[in-house]
Amino acid sequence: MRRLYAPMAVVVVVLAGVVAAGGQQMQPYTSTDGRFTVNFPQAEVKQESETINLKGGGSSTLYEFFVELAENNVSYMVMYNDYPGDYANGDPQTVLATTRDGAVGTKTLLSDIAISLNGVPGREFTAKDDTWNYTVRQYLQGKRLYQLIVVSNSSHPATQTSEFLSSFKIL
């Protein structure tokens, strides 16, 4: 099996100007193409997409949805991509653990548990580096990897992490 690496570098790029919510009202958001719904903090939901190169060869289009506010250094985002062909074959928890390892990289892994969402295998983990705290939920439905990510710094902790993560539904 090829090693899979989640594009956490993309998160850092997005964070360069991202500051999002604490204590905001939540707003429902649905992506028909992404086949998901989630509640974001009340703000403009921005969208981006980019082609990512996969470890071991091949590429995939990464779709990102996130909010930005100017109050706190916190970001709430959903990303998904579809793996090509025989990429991401094998036990879903093994695939998810590999994407977790790629996402964590040089950060410190603080917690990691296997989860599921209505039978869809997932993982939830937290990590930190010198500046940022990361809470991530990943779900692998067939060849589609969904990633919910909340990033904050210690001086402005994310206050709606649980509400955001628990609102996610795959359609």
Question: Do the beta carbons of residue 47 and residue 63 sit within 8 Å?
Answer: yes
**Per-residue model confidence (pLDDT) at position 90:** 87
- What are φ and ψ of residue 164, in 5° steps? -65, -55
Question: Do the beta carbons of residue 9 and residue 53 sit within 8 Å?
Answer: no
Task: List pLDDT tens digits, range 26-54.
Answer: 999 999 999 999 999 998 999 999 999 88
Neighbours of 25 (CB within 10 A): 10
The CATH homologous superfamily for domain 8-170 is Mog1/PsbP, alpha/beta/alpha sandwich (3.40.1000.10)
Each of the 171 residues of the chain gets a pLDDT tens digit; together they read 444 444 443 444 344 333 333 456 899 999 999 999 999 999 899 999 999 988 878 899 999 999 976 567 889 999 999 998 888 888 999 999 999 999 999 999 999 999 999 999 999 999 999 999 999 999 999 999 999 999 998 788 888 999 999 999 999
Read off the tokens for 128: 């930190």
Domain ranges of the chain: 8-170
Read off the tokens for 93: 């928890």
CA 61 – CA 63 distance, rounded (Å):
6
